[in-house]
Structure 1
Amino acid sequence: MLEGLESLTVPCVTCYSYMLEAIGKNCRNFSELKVLCPLDIEFAESLIKHIPKLKILSLRCSLVYTEALRCILKGLEYLEVLNLSHSMFFAELDHEGAETSNILIQRGGEIPAAMDVSRLERLVACQGETSCFLCQLMLENPSVGGRGYRFQEAMWREDEISSLAH
Structure 2
Amino acid sequence: MPNIEKLALPVSWSLCNAMNSFRFAFSQWKNLKTLIMAHNDFFIWPYTFEFRVVGENCSNLNNLKIMGYLDNKDAVEIVRYLQSLKRLSLRCSSVNFKGVLLLIRGLGNLAILNLTHCQYFRCNSITINNVVQASTQKLDKLIICSKNDCKVCKDRPAMFGLDALYEKYWRNDEIKELEF
Q: Which range, TM-score by smaller chain?
A: 0.7 to 0.9
State TM-score, norm by structure 2.
0.73
Comparing 2-11 and 112-121, the one that deviates more: 112-121
Offset of residue 59 of structure 1: 0.5
Preserved contact between residue 60 and residue 84 of structure 1 (Cα < 8 Å): yes
In structure 1, which of residues 119, 122, 128 is the aligned counterpart of residue 141 of structure 2?
Answer: 122
Structure 1 distance, partners of 2:63, 2:172, is 15
Q: Among residues 88, 92, 105, which one is paired with 1:61 in the alignment?
A: 92
Report the Cα distance in structure 1 between the residues aligned to 2:48 and 2:161, rounded to whole angstroms.
20
Structure 1 position 92, deviation (Å): 4.0
Residues paired across the two proteins, number? 145
Aligned twin of 1:4? 31
Gaps of 5+ in 1: 98-104, 107-111
Question: Kindly, what percent of the aligned residue pairs are identical?
Answer: 28
Q: Deviations over 1:85-113 (max 9, x none)?
A: 111211245xxx8xxxxxxx97xxxxx12
Corresponding residue number in structure 1 for 2:16:
none
Which residue of 129, 133, 141 maps to 2:158? 141
- Structure with the largest fraction of helix: 2
Shift of 1:17: 4.4
Check conservation: 1:6, 1:32, Cα contact below 8 A: yes
Is 2:174 the counterpart of 1:160?
A: yes
Work out which structure has the larger RCO, using CA pairs closer than 8 Å and 6 or more positions apart in sequence: 1
The DSSP-based 3-state class of the residue aligned with 1:36 is strand
SS in 2 for 1:70: helix
Match of 2:12 in 1: none
| Cα distance change on mapping 1:40 and 1:26 into 2, 3 Å | same
Q: Secondary structure at the match of 2:135?
A: coil
> Structure 2 CA distance, aligned partners of 1:148 and 1:136?
13
Report the equivalent of 1:77: 108
Structure 2, unpaired ranges of 5+? 1-27
- The SS at the match of 2:83 is coil
> For residues 25-60 of structure 1, what are the alpha-carbon distances to aligned partners after superposition, in whole Å with 9 as ceiling and x for unaligned?
111111000001111100100101111121100000
Q: 1:92 to 1:142 in 2, by over 3 A?
A: farther
* RMSD over aligned Cα atoms: 2.0
d(CA) in 2 for partners of 1:79, 1:73: 7
What is the aligned partner in structure 1 of residue 63 from structure 2?
32
